[in-house]
Chain A
Amino acid sequence: MTSQAELDKLIRSDYEAGFVSAVESDTLPPGLSEDVIRFISGKKGEPEWLLEWRLAAYHKWQQMPLPTWAHLKHPPVDFDEVSYYSAPKSMEDRPKSLDEVDPELLRTYEKLGIPLHEQEMLAGVAVDAVFDSVSVGTTFKAKLLEAGVIFCSISEAVHDYPDLIKQYLGSVVPQGDNFYAALNSAVFSDGSFVYIPKGVRCPMELSTYFRINEAKTGQFERTLIVADEGSYVSYLEGCTAPMRDENQLHAAVVELVALPGAQIKYSTVQNWYPGDENGKGGIYNFVTKRGVAHENSKISWTQVETGSAITWKYPSVILRGDNSVGEFYSVALTRHMQQADTGTKMIHLGKNTKSTIISKGISAGRSNNSYRGLVRISPRADNARNFTQCDSLLLGDTCGAHTFPYIESRNRSAMIEHEATTSKVSDDQLFLCRNRGIDPEKAVSMIVNGFCKEVFKELPMEFAVEAGKLLEVSLEGAVG
């Protein structure tokens, strides 16, 4: 068999996480209006100021044009066709513990290999599981509270910690920041809130598993993490979604605030349904992720992106304080007809600020994978440094890899390095592996994992294993 034929065979394998769980949902009819926003806000019992905040965002959004600059082609999203609220029916009497959680929901997680109970015991990970739009199980809360750490759904935080929410919500990504952020600000359903007090090292890794489950339901997660002075937190976000024919819209916003001397490590493994080999179905993922780093603080983004039909995502760091550090480590794998336009922005404002960008793009099938990154050095950012490395790996000859680096330096003392490579999994590498008895599928998975090693080593241990596994599962369908 030729390697091209193998490639074709391997590219066509099914999405392992493709199934639909039968939890009843309480879904709003499609369409967006002030009334819908009032409904969402009312359903959550939100204070007046937050409703006003949502409405202000909605009015800004109405004035904004759809962004068209990304290297993405897709039919226009009909925002009137999207349903803006969906919650599991059991929401009225929210479960107090996992025992009260809908067993069907727990089985869903188990199918994904994410048994909550096991995780509680083995991994010591506190999980704020987001199923559709409402948090259904938060674990280890007590232990975290002991350390003074707040980890809860953003809806709860609105009630329990209004001052923190008022102070920081929208402080990093303002309501009118961009089209999708404005939409999210108007209709965000739920998400996570984390606060780490001064000098506290969060005693465990915080993790949220996302899962889009309701057909035609937009997911508008909102995450806010505030790390107070000298604190540390590692946050894990992971997601998969069931197989669906309709495109599902997702527009999340993540805001990180690292106060002086704080460190935030934010890791993502994203495995939403990518659509089939002809580009049918799949998630549209338009995400705004940004962090502000104050003096001597550090923000690291690590992402492993293997899912979604469309990915539009640029986790960024504003290096506001002197000596602050920003990092971005990314693996983006596209196959079938997937399109990814992803990268980062490092905005150097403070003196002696440092940023590192390592991006690994893997393209297979008829997919398109673009890296888009901005490094901006402001006039007063003396001695700013950036290192960027952008590597692309092509599998087969029907996919595309593109690199769009933007560098804007307004300070002569800046040091900016940019390296970029494009390579293919060579026939020679494949043949060496096969000659040593390794089948082509395993060989490619191994070669690609090697290509991604620099990024994987940045992931927390258990997540790195999961990422490797995810890549292998994706590659079963993606490569030869």
Chain B
Amino acid sequence: MLEIKDLHASVAGEDILKGLSLTVKAGEVHAIMGPNGSGKSTLTNVLSGRDGYEITGGQALLEGRDVSELDPEERAHAGLFLAFQYPVEIPGVSNLEFLKASLEATRKAQGKEPWDAVTLLKKAREACKQVDLDPQFLKRGVNEGFSGGEKKRNEIMQMLLLEPKLALLDETDSGLDIDALQVVARGVNSLRSPERAIVLVTHYQRLLDYIVPDHVHVLAGGRIVKSGGKELALELEQKGYGWITGQPEGATA
């Protein structure tokens, strides 16, 4: 699904990723953990093609295709989805309008049948229900005036409709209370399937109580410095990152 080989990337001329390698197979859930500033968000942004994030070496293959050859929307059409850490507001553009544009473009590119208005509305309402979001949110501007938790649930709602092959979740747990966390986890878990892969980027182990990963990786200094099973997350919870990165927690931030 995703194969990252010796990836180097820079932001504003500063090298952030320094030889990162990672293989994610279909059906797997990977958690990427690490101290602040280790390059976690850079990784998700590079993979999804955000402006200003430049690949300077190595490569990332999405189902065998080099992502650097694809525009961000083409990566989306290829099945990549990024749930943002800070979803941005688009005033005046209703959620439903946004979903319509998104699904029309994506389904068309994927050669799927377009949904008519009735189907779209029905599916969107169902997706809202799955993440405990009042369907009234469909009429509101995209993330406009939403609380932090509502924005995160709105991201997951969109993800459920787009059914991505590879979902990247960038600190989706940050700022969520325990109830909201469970709701979000339920949504993500419902998407788990043998054809899909999920990469969770998180600072805390907490999320992993609800979305149990197959693999856990520690990212530090722009590289994966340790990989293991779900028990690695628990170990990190107890010991912090210092024992792996060789530095006291916080010093790498």
Give residues in A with beta carbon < 8 Å to B: 1-3, 426-429, 431-440, 442-443, 446-447, 449-454
Contact = CB atoms under 8 A, between A and B. Distances in A.
A69 B159 CA distance: 53
A442 B52 CA distance: 22
24 contacts: A1-B71, A426-B88, A429-B89, A431-B51, A432-B84, A432-B88, A433-B90, A433-B98, A433-B101, A434-B49, A435-B48, A436-B98, A436-B101, A437-B73, A437-B76, A437-B106, A437-B109, A438-B101, A439-B105, A440-B73, A450-B90, A450-B92, A450-B141, A451-B92
B72 interface: yes
Given A439-B105, A442-B101, A434 B71 contact: yes
B105 A452 contact: no
B77 interface: yes
A247 B92 CA distance: 36
B158 interface: yes
Given A426-B88, A429-B88, A434-B76, 8 more contacts: A429-B90, A435-B75, A437-B103, A438-B73, A439-B105, A440-B73, A446-B101, A453-B92
Nearest to B88: A428
A428 B90 CA distance: 10
Nearest to B143: A432
Contacts of A433: 90, 98, 101-102
A438 B103 CA distance: 9
A105 B179 CA distance: 66
A367 to B, nearest CB: 22
A432 B51 contact: no
Contacts of A426: 88
Interface string B23-47: 0000000000000000000000000
Interface in B172-221: none
Interface string B126-148: 00000000000000011000000
A439 B49 CA distance: 13
B58 interface: no
B81 interface: yes
Nearest to B75: A435
Contacts of B48: 435
Nearest to A452: B92
Interface of B: 48-52, 71-73, 75-77, 80-82, 84, 87-93, 97-98, 101-103, 105-106, 109, 141-142, 158, 162
Contacts of B162: 436-437
A3 B51 contact: yes
B87 A432 contact: yes
Contact of A436 (B51, B71, B102): B102
Contacts of B90: 429, 432-433, 446-447, 450
Contacts of A1: 71
Contacts of A442: 101, 105
Contacts of B80: 435
Contact of A446 (B50, B77, B81, B97): B97
A450 B93 contact: yes
A426 B91 CA distance: 12
A163 to B, nearest CB: 47
A451 B105 contact: no
Contacts of B73: 434-435, 437-440
Nearest to A360: B92
Contact of B93 (A2, A428, A435, A449): A449
Nearest to A1: B71
A-B pairs with the 3 shortest C-beta distances? Answer: A450-B92, A450-B93, A437-B106
Nearest to B91: A450
B51 A446 contact: no
A435 B82 contact: yes
Contacts of B106: 436-437
A438 B106 CA distance: 8
A434 B93 contact: no
Contact of A435 (B52, B76, B91, B101): B76
Contacts of A434: 49, 71-73, 76
Contacts of A439: 73, 105
Nearest to A445: B101
Contact of B92 (A432, A437, A449): A449
A437 B51 contact: no
Nearest to A430: B51
Contact of B102 (A3, A428, A438, A451): A438
Question: Of B72, B75, B76, which is in contact with the most chain A CB atoms at under 10 Å from its CB?
Answer: B72
Contacts of A2: 51
B158 A436 contact: yes
A2 B54 CA distance: 11
Question: Of A2, A447, A450, A452, which is in contact with the most chain B CB atoms at under 10 Å from its CB?
Answer: A450
Nearest to B97: A446
Nearest to B102: A436
A1 B91 CA distance: 26
